Chains A and B, each alone.
Chain A
């Protein structure tokens, strides 16, 4: 817990601090100031500042894409994709990833201290949207002196940010790669998120979001939320293959409510390890931001209007067994991009690993990303090899 609190205010990352004179205006009408954005960078920005790739992380991800995580000690969440010689080649590209606002790894969020009271915001923190996250990232990109990003890449909630970037700042995005994502959250997805939020809020330790002030921790609620969500990230086939009906450290049922089955034990572990690194209120805010995401609604009901006149080149990827962000969601975006006359590629990758596939060893995803980014780099006149 103490480690995590340090990450909230003084993270093991670069931090951009914006003062009271530069409030971030939010879609809700509220604003945030001061604002801090924690971020990691990898590689070197070239002289023309044309080789920057922004990675947008998913719901429970953070800025630690390709380095050891300061809280868990585990390796970065996308080391198979990002690094020297990897598809997002840090020997060639300048890679940026920031913790989203509303998060809990150093960017301003509900766990951050309010300047007026010195107490955590809790549920007094303004409700955010995906667009708000992107506008905050744009401040960071301004700060880094980058006018146009070579590419914005992300999966799931990260993909929503990619789409919001392309819609809000089309001239600043040369290439966009939303993976396993959607232009709006479905009713089913909102429903799953609501279950997660209710689990958090039903925990008596949650204290109406004031747990940090009152010295409690809604461990059980957040952990149940994570368990439920985790099921949605996997496919039925993947669960069956990994666990089947295998017992956990026993040969027969115990006729109790212990974790008899491996799958139960696995989910409990997922839940418990999650609460070590994640803030419960952040979970409420970020899931809410995803629920509110509806790019068509933001553009007069027409998704094509969100991309009208866009010169950005898009590459979308979906996975066959992803039932949380199914291929039909990606196809809807492809359809709109075609209607808008935008340049779009789309691949559906065969995988039985469910939504999580975008984070895993998927050679076909890597090949597609590499090919797309190489072609974008060539089109932007970035030389092969090291910067």
Chain B
């Protein structure tokens, strides 16, 4: 016996949509799409139990339901509130919501070090986007920001606890994706931090996914650390035969070098399919992958500045006109420049590059 799923009507910012019962407001808004979707820092569709922590997705419910039309007294977290039939929700049309969200962003940024120039997440950071849309130019906070000792999370994952916003996504990932979770949130309140209790490395085969779910730069890829800025790398979709995962990834290339491998992300910045550590950290050669083409990047993202998608290269006419002769080069840039040196293969270095890497290959002339 198949049960008929009841469709209920919900109106978000004066746009009506019919959704199955049991949908959350956030999911209903995502079905509409566009500007009415509240931002979400901690909620993750693929992680059970996530959401309700960051409070950035607050919305105003101006009409509870058809049966009980009273408005909800307080703003509600849209990721955790289910829709009712005839519910009316205000997101960007409500000044209360915008005001509250600005406050939430201010709170999230209280202890954030704002070291975006150093951080590898810059350019694809959700907190950056959120701060850009809702943040104030200055801070009102007068006290010392909380700091943490550096915590080592194994050979592949770098933890910067100062940047963490305690969204718990990585904890849920480890809980639901791997057999044995060895990290969690320790202490309480201002002292709360993501940590392995005793300096234990995260070595499960799927633990690399915590890097992708992290909305900020708290968990970053050590094999990509400081190699290049995200917006200077070229995202291409690629796949390979993998025994333990789907093998469907996005490669971030510079020239022919594969600087970073991540899972493919959908329009909400969520992972489409989890990938294993082998694909993520160890397959750093273009020959390991079957390349499908440039990945789609939202045109509002700084990553799209390279314009890799749908590029039509003009045909070279010089050779045809000059009886098959190549144009004479006035200067080969590699003979002078020490940047992007063909002798330096950044993808072959396990960790971040040091001054030595570039010193060794310095030109003798």
A and B interact physically:
no
Residues of A within 8 A of B (CB): none
Residues of B within 8 A of A (CB): none
